[in-house]
Structure 1
Amino acid sequence: MANVQYYDVILKPVVTEKTMELMGDKKYTFLVHPEATKSQIKEAVEKMFDGTKVAKVNTMNCEGKKKRVRGTFKYGKTAATKKAIVQLTEDSKDIEIFQGL
């Protein structure tokens, strides 16, 4: 992944009931660039959110779903995505974008 800046790594946060429960344990879920590595994700979170220290990063590649094209018997796929669950250290500050949720 050449010439990708830290602000290109994290695309958007994932907000679901399950991820909201994980926030109590200081685990935050983000959609990330499909070619991003764990070290790049760690660096991006620490630079984008002041006062955060990342303990570990878990990633998962989500395959695109099979979709039928309307009116025909042809099939296509939605885009593949990559999710990252970021565990912060105990002395780290919380991420502010999730405070009001």
Structure 2
Amino acid sequence: MSDLRHYDVITSPVITEKSTMVSEYNQVVFNVALKATKPQIKAAIESLFGVKVTAVNTLIRKGKVKRFRGRVGRQSDQKKAIVTLAEGDTIDVSTGL
């Protein structure tokens, strides 16, 4: 049984054209919690999917200011993790968490 805290670290997989292109290099992209650290992300991926992680790169996309019906709003910041898997390991992100 996996630890429930791992589901708080990994929010969702990112399914975009760019994230599917990096899958050729044995990498997978996930949205993660803003306060999640690289060791926490690595432990969560390894326990939830049963794979070996070799590297974790993170980035924070700052929220944009958008208008909706004339009112100004702000999107929240997002943290993404690009996870490099060991040779031979794969994750099928279409199944979800």
> TM-score if structure 1 supplies the norm length?
0.82
- In the TM superposition, what are the counterparts of 1:1-101 in structure 2 within 5 Å? 5-50=5-50, 52-72=51-71, 75-91=72-88, 93-98=89-94
One-letter code of the match for 2:17? E
- Aligned-residue CA RMSD (Å): 1.8
Query: For residues 95 and 70 of structure 1, what CA distance do their matches in structure 2 show?
Result: 40
Give the Å deviation of 1:98. Answer: 4.3
3-state SS of paired residue (2:23): helix
Q: Distance in 1 between matches of 2:22 and 2:68?
A: 36
User: Distance in 2 between the 1:71 and 1:98 partners?
Assistant: 36
Structure 2 residue ranges without an equivalent (≥5) = none
Q: Which runs of 5+ in 1 are unaligned?
A: none
Deviations 1:9-65 (A, max 9, x none): 111100111111111111000000111000000000000002x10000000011111
Q: Distance in 1 between matches of 2:20 and 2:94?
A: 9
Aligned in 2, Cα 1:84/1:61: closer, same or farther, shift over 3 Å?
A: same
In structure 2, the residue corresponding to 1:45 is in which secondary structure? helix
CA distance in 2, matches of 1:71, 1:94: 45
After superposing on structure 2, the runs of 4+ consecutive aligned residues of structure 1 that deviate more than 4 Å are none
